[in-house]
Amino acid sequence: MLTSLSFTLSLALLAIQIEAATYHVSDSISGTGFLSAFTHQAIADPTHGRVNYLSQADALAKNITYANGNTFRIQADSTTVLSASGPGRNSARIMSNNQYSTHVVIMDIRHMPEGCSTWPAAWEVGDNWPNEGEVDIIEGVNGVGVNQATLHTGAGCTMPSSSAQTGTTVGTDCNANDNGNAGCGVTCNKGNSFASSFNNNGGGWYAMERTSSYINVWFWPRNDGSVPSQVSNAASSIDTSTWGTPFANFPNSQCNLASEFGPNNIVINLTFCGDWAGAVFASQGCGSDCASFVNNNPAAFQKAYWDFASLNVYE
């Protein structure tokens, strides 16, 4: 039997748990807002892709980045044949100016890059990678398969095959120094979560919630009857406890999330070939030489673009 004190404590703990699932909007970004909320990173690709990341000024001038109304695009150059000895294909990599710890990010996306050699990603990362963690919310290569959400960390972080998710666990060791940095991943259970199948359905919404107790990732296709109105209507406050089961659940049962993850920036990028897309280019039916494909087939990149309607962060 509960004593009066234990009953009061139980109510207090319940209130804390409920409050932990409630957030209020802190950043609401669309159209040209991306240009002030994010910085274009004109850097050498850390994943060794056949890409040339442009500054904001160059990306806007070359129409690699486009912003207007409620549309923000990052798109590959699709007109230029490249010299094998010159820079890679023009694209962009942007990073948020703000960092986030406990938060939710919701992305309303109409289109994501598709096609052979493409490696699109929307993710979060800390300053001291991998020791402040990385959360890959959207990632895949060569336009093949479904989306995969993945954690990459320092040593000492593993994940169980969670029963609190609808997706499939494909890796349990999050340590970036193990297994070729495969990380601990979960593939989405919905076939229209990535590339052409996502685009042909008009896109959808991705959301990620990060706390010190768990990290969850959801996906709702466009016109899905189960999408919460808080998500589809970009509500000013949200309660993730009402959203149903995520496709990826990363609990802290075998990983101290509070120590493995620090403040993270949001990154959105599009690279080509590189450590992952290039390694499986042939086995995924794209041909024998990824770099040559990127150099010589500009028209193949006409559908290699991100189109964001909005990105909202809640804290």
| pLDDT tens sequence across 196-214 | 999 999 999 999 999 999 9
Q: Point out the catalytic residue in the list 134, 209, 260, 315.
A: 134
Percent of the chain with pLDDT over 70: 94
**pTM score of the predicted model:** 0.94
Question: Predicted confidence band at 19 (pLDDT cuts at 50, 70, 90)?
Answer: very low
Q: What percent of the chain has pLDDT over 90?
A: 93
In this predicted structure, the answer to whether residue 17 has a pLDDT above a threshold of 60 is no
What would the mean pLDDT of 285-301 be, rounded to a whole number?
Answer: 98
pLDDT the model gives residue 147: 98
Tell which wins on pLDDT, 10 or 174. 174
Catalytic residue at 124? no
CATH number listed for the domain at residues 22-314: 2.60.120.200
Q: What confidence tier does 6 reach under pLDDT thresholds 50, 70, 90?
A: very low
* Tokens, residue 228: 């919460």
Give pLDDT tens digits for 92-115: 999 999 999 999 999 999 999 999
Residue 20 — very low, low, confident or very high, per pLDDT cuts 50/70/90? low
Contact yes or no for 121/267 (Cβ under 8 A):
yes
- Residue 280 pLDDT exceeds 50: yes
Mean pLDDT of the chain: 94
Domain range summary for the chain, segments of one domain joined by +: 22-314
Q: What secondary structure, in 3-state letters, does 164-201 show?
A: CCCCEECCCECECCCHHHCCEEEECCCCCCCHHHHHHC
Which position among 114, 124, 139, 209 bears the catalytic label? 139
**Is-catalytic flag, 132?**
no
Give residue 21's pLDDT: 84
